[in-house]
Chains A and B, each alone.
Chain A
Amino acid sequence: MSASELLALALDAASWALLVTGGLMLVIGAIGLLRFPDFYTRLHAGGVIDTLGADLMLLGMALQAGFSLVTVKLLLIGLFLFFTSPTSTHATANAAYFAGLRPVTADDGDKDGGPKPGEPA
């Protein structure tokens, strides 16, 4: 096996690993978004994991594309998402807090949206 074939195999494996990890993270984040008890915990699941998952998938696609304009576009989207996703998460949290939505704490019981910690939803 020549060196260039070995390099192509390594690139394939790396992009495969990045795509799988990114997809797994997106699914885990979506499950958290669905299952967590109140808005701020859902924000944590949706906002944090989506950023990393999306960037990993875009990086995996960039490795498949090789050196071309496609890679530049992918990296541009990745860079953009890397900065805008946390920004909009922060803006959403700020708007919710401003509107009077408060986090559910352990001594709130079940009077304020969602089950107690440890209880099934």
Chain B
Amino acid sequence: MFLAATIAVLVALALTLVRLFAGPSLYDRVLALNSVGTKTVLLIGLVGFLTERPEFLDIALLYALINFAGTFVILKFFRYRAVGDMAHQSMDTLSADTPRDPRGEDRR
């Protein structure tokens, strides 16, 4: 039963990874990354049950917390180009009136 669920999560994970690498916009990637994180939490829990070591759930809990924080840090970085102190930023980069990146494509 847990094996079937694990295979389902793995299939979903593979499909999500295709979207993560295909893009095309940065926000598609962030969305896919968040989705991969959620599925990883489930996978860790399921593998814990499969190997009958439910202590894995501690790792899953920690991973859920880190995934949530990580998504927000990535989004904050790409909005303000800084993660910590933003006092040096001028106000015009914080305004929504002037989209800097019309299609949200990543710059390589």
Residues of chain A touching chain B, judged by Cβ–Cβ distance below 8 Å, are 15-16, 19-20, 22-24, 26-27, 29-31, 33-34, 39, 42-43, 46-47, 50, 54, 57-58, 60-61, 64-65, 70, 73-74, 76-77, 80-81, 84-85, 87-89, 91-92, 95-96, 98-101, 112-113
Contact = CB atoms under 8 A, between A and B. Distances in A.
Contacts of A33: 15-16, 19, 31-32, 35
A100 B38 contact: no
Nearest to A112: B103
A98 B101 CA distance: 10
Contact of A61 (B18, B24, B49, B65): B49
Contacts of B78: 95, 99
A27 B12 contact: yes
Given A39-B25, A99-B101, A46 B31 contact: yes
Given A19-B4, A31-B15, A88-B34, A58 B42 contact: yes
Contacts, number: 164
Across the A-B interface, the 6 shortest Cβ-Cβ residue pairs? A100-B99, A23-B8, A30-B15, A96-B27, A101-B104, A30-B12
Chain B's interface size range is 35 or more
A77 B38 CA distance: 10
Contact of A98 (B5, B71, B96, B103): B96
Contacts of A46: 16, 31-32, 34-35
Given A29-B12, A42-B19, A84-B68, 11 more contacts: A22-B8, A23-B4, A24-B8, A26-B42, A30-B15, A50-B39, A77-B41, A77-B57, A88-B34, A95-B30, A99-B100
B79 A99 contact: yes
Nearest to B104: A101
A60 B6 CA distance: 13
Contacts of B14: 30
Contacts of A58: 42, 45
